[in-house]
Amino acid sequence: MKFDVFPIDDSIGVILAHTFRSAALTFKKGHVVTEADAAALKTAGVKDVMGARLAPDDIGEDVAAAQIAARILGSNVRLSEARTGRCNIEAAQDGIVRLDEASIAAANLISETVTIATLPDKQAAKAGQILATVKIIPFAVASDVMRQVLTVLKEGAISLTPYRPLNFALISTLSASLKPSVLASTEEITRHRVETLGGTVISSTQSQHKTSDVVGALQDALARRPDVVLIAGASATVDRKDVVPAAITALSGVVDHFGMPVDPGNLLVLAHIGDVLVLVLPGCARSPKLNGADWVMQRLAAGIAVTAADIMRMGVGGLLVDIPSRPLPRTTAVRAQPARRVAGIILAAGQSRRMAGANKLLMPVRGELLVRRTVKTVQAAHLDQVVIVTGHQCDEVAEALGDLAVTTVHNPRYAEGLSTSLKIGLQALPPEIDGVLVCLGDMPAVSTEHIARLIAEFDPENDRAIGVPTHNGKRGNPVLWARRFFEEMQEVAGDVGARHLIGANESLVYEVEFGDTAVLTDLDTPEQWQDYLSKPRA
C-alpha cells in the first residue's frame, strides 16, 4: 500500500484518507476516487488529495478484519458486518467469555496494522455485548502480514460459555439487630442475582446466627438437593472457625477458601459439603452492586470450576470500589458493560424573532402546539431523561407542556443566544449519562424513528461518538453527542451550538442517512411555517 499526496490527475483509485467537503461536493473518508470524482474535484479547484493506493497483493481493510474475526470465532458468539476496517464479535447469549490469550497476544505482536481487543478472560457478558473487536489500522493489510496473523491465531480463540440452569438454596441467619426489611431486601437481591445467571432459588430458609441452628438449616437445604447453597449471615465471617464455617465443617464439609482479594467481597467463604457447593456471602452482597461473590457465582453458573487459587488470582482487577472521578458501573449484579444511557435536551428558549411577533413553539401543528409535539416525540424514544430548556415566555411554554413528564430548566440568559441554553441543559444531566441528543424545538417533522436510528448506531467506544442525521448528504438535526464532548460543549458562546466540534472531530462522526427531509426542516419564518402546513404529511 502506498500512502501519499496524489496529484488530482493521478488520483483515480486512491482511497481518501480524510473526508472532503465543499459547497458542491462531499466525499467521505475511505471513498475510492473514480474518474468522474477526479474531474469534479479538479473543477472545484482541488489540486491533490491525500490517501492510499493498494498494491495488487494487499487485502482491503474490511475483508481483512472479517477474515481475522472469523478465524477466532468460537462457540456461542457471532460476527458483526465489517465496516471501516472493524469487525466485532458479539455474545449470542449470556455467559462467561473464554479466550486463548496467548494466541491473541501473539497476533497483536506481529504488526501495528492489525489489532485485536477483547474483554478479559472469564468476564461475564450479556447477549449482544461486544466481546472483541478486530480493527485494521490502515486501509489494507499486506498479504504476508495476514498469513502470519492467521497462522498464530488459534481457531475459535474467543468463545462464550453459557450459564446453566442451576438450583440454589438460600439460608439467611438472624440476629436481634437485623431489621426484617434488611432481610427481605437481601433475599430479593439474591434471588435477582440467581435469576440473572439463569438459576432458580428452590428454597429459602432462615435460622438464628448460631452454629447449631445453621447446621439444621443446612441439613434442610441439602435435603432439597440444590447445586449451590448460598448463606447470607447476619454477621460477617471473620475466621474459619466462625459460626457459619463451623456449621459447614460440622456436617463433614470442607472450607476450600476463606476471603478473597476483591473489594468489595473480601469476606467470602467457598466451601463444599459432598458434591454441593456452599458460598457464604460477604456482607456487601446485601447490595445489588457488583462484588467478588458475583464473579464466583458467574463462573459456577457457567460450569467453570473455582478453586482457592482461582480466587486468589482475582486480585488483579479486583478493586471494584467506586472512584469519585470515574465511577465504575457496579449497579448491576453482572460484570458487563451497561446499556448506554442517552438523555435528550430540547432547546426551547428562543424568541422567534423572524416569526413576526409570534412564538412558534406555542403555535399549533396538526392540532397540537409545536413544543408539546416535540417533547412527546422525544419522550417516545424512551431516553433516560428528557430536559427542556425554556427562556422566552417560559410560563406559557410550561403551561403548554401540561402533564408531560419532562425536566424543565429555565435559562435567564436566553437572549444571549442558543449556546447559553445548551450549557444549562448539559448542567441538568445526571453524571451517569453516556450521551445526549440535542434537539431543536421547532422541527415538527422529526419522528421517534429518526431518533431511534441515531441512538441505535451510537457506539462511542468504537469511534461512533457524534451522530449526525443527513438527507442527500446534507447534515441536519438533532445531533447525538458522547459524554467526552460535554466539557467542550460547555465552552461554546453566542447564538451557535456545538457544530464546530463536528468538523474538528470528523473521525468520530457517524452519519445516518434518511430518505425524507425531516432532519433539515425547521420553521423560522411565517413563510416556512405556511409552506410546511400546506404540504400533505403522513
Q: What is the pLDDT of residues 455-506, one digit of tens each?
A: 988 988 777 899 999 998 889 999 999 999 998 888 887 766 787 888 888 8
Q: Are 91 and 125 in contact (CB under 8 A)?
A: yes
Residue 336 reports pLDDT greater than 80: no
Q: What is the pLDDT of residues 172-201, one digit of tens each?
A: 999 988 888 888 989 999 999 999 999 999
Residue 324 reports pLDDT greater than 50: no
Cα of 76 vs its chain's centroid, Å: 21
Overall residue count recorded for the chain in this entry:
538
Amino acid at 415: A
How far, in Å, CA of 132 to CA of 159, rounded?
10
Q: Are 122 and 39 in contact (CB under 8 A)?
A: no
Tell whether pTM > 0.75. Answer: no
Q: What is the pLDDT of residues 310-320, one digit of tens each?
A: 999 999 999 98
pLDDT of residue 198: 94
pLDDT of residue 447: 92
Phi/psi of residue 407, nearest 5 degrees:
-85, 120
Give 325's pLDDT tier (boundaries 50, 70, 90).
very low
506-528 b/e (C-beta count within 10 Å ≥ 16 → b) = eebbbbbebeeebbbbbbeeeeb
**By mean pLDDT, which of 28-32, 45-49, 424-428 is the weakest?**
28-32
**Average model confidence (pLDDT) for the chain?**
90
End-to-end CA distance of the chain: 50
Residue 368 reports pLDDT greater than 60: yes
Question: What are the grid coordinates assigned to 161, written together?
Answer: 460459555
Q: Are 170 and 230 in contact (CB under 8 A)?
A: yes
Map grid coordinates 439444621 to a residue: 216
Residue 412 to residues 392, 397, 421, 514, Cα–Cα distance (Å): 9, 14, 9, 36
Residues 6+ apart with CB under 8 A from 477: 438, 439, 440, 443, 446, 469, 519, 522
Give 339's pLDDT tier (boundaries 50, 70, 90).
low
Q: Is the dihedral of CA 19, 21, 26, 32 positive or negative?
A: negative
350-367 b/e (C-beta count within 10 Å ≥ 16 → b) = bebeebeeebbbbbebee
Q: For residue 113, give the DSSP letter.
A: T
pLDDT of residue 323: 37
Q: Which of 250, 253, 288, 252 is nearest to 270 (CA)?
A: 253
Q: If DSSP codes are grouped into helix, strand and coil, which group holds residue 424?
A: helix
How far, in Å, CA of 260 to CA of 255, rounded?
13
**By mean pLDDT, which of 64-73, 194-203, 426-435 is the weakest?**
426-435
Residue 2 to residues 52, 209, 363, Cα–Cα distance (Å): 5, 74, 58
Q: Are 65 and 136 in contact (CB under 8 A)?
A: yes
Give 331's pLDDT tier (boundaries 50, 70, 90).
very low
- For the chain, list the domains and their CATH numbers: 2-53 (3.90.105), 58-157 (3.90.1170), 167-313 (3.40.980.10), 342-534 (3.90.550.10)
- The full 3-state SS of 315-376, as one line of letters, equals CCCCECCCECCECCCCCCCCCCCCCCCEEEEEEECCCCCCCCCCCHHHCEECCEEHHHHHHH
How far, in Å, CA of 310 to CA of 296, rounded?
9
pLDDT of residue 23: 78
Give 332's pLDDT tier (boundaries 50, 70, 90).
very low
Q: Is the dihedral of CA 201, 206, 210, 212 positive or negative?
A: negative
Give the burial class of 403: count Cβ atoms within 10 A of its Cβ; 0-12 exposed, 13-18 middle, 19 or more buried.
exposed
Q: What is the pLDDT of residues 84-110, one digit of tens each?
A: 899 999 999 999 999 999 999 999 999
Give the burial class of 181: count Cβ atoms within 10 A of its Cβ; 0-12 exposed, 13-18 middle, 19 or more buried.
exposed
Cα of 160 vs its chain's centroid, Å: 19
pLDDT of residue 335: 34
